[in-house]
Amino acid sequence: MADEPKDLMEEVEEDFELLDTVEYEGELYFMLIPATDNDEIDGEVFIMRRVEAENGEEMLEAVEDEATFDAVYNIFKEKNKDEFEFLD
């Protein structure tokens, strides 16, 4: 019997911890940090968005556009200013 396909977020959560989601210009962005065994955040945040691959499967794609990254990150910071200490 073949293994059941994993949900996209199940696969992501093997390597990353989801901090939050942010909606910006009609798209949903995922704020992720590398998964660790402790609760400490080392400052590296990944912003990704869900896209459909050519084969029809969903995947996450890193946001490379600096303006979009900054806009989404600023929304995240404002939304979570009481939850996290931001160093920038």
pLDDT digits (tens, 9 = 90+) for 6-49: 566 676 767 888 889 999 999 999 999 887 766 666 668 899 99
Which of the two residues, 45 and 86, has the higher pLDDT score?
Answer: 45
Q: What whole-number distance in Å separates Cα of residue 28 and Cα of residue 32? A: 13
Q: What whole-number distance in Å separates Cα of residue 76 and Cα of residue 71? A: 9
The tokens for 55 are 């084969």
18: nearest Cα among 4, 2, 7: 7
pLDDT of residue 24: 96
pLDDT digits (tens, 9 = 90+) for 30-39: 999 887 766 6
Whether pLDDT at 66 is above 60? yes
22: nearest Cα among 73, 88, 84, 83: 73
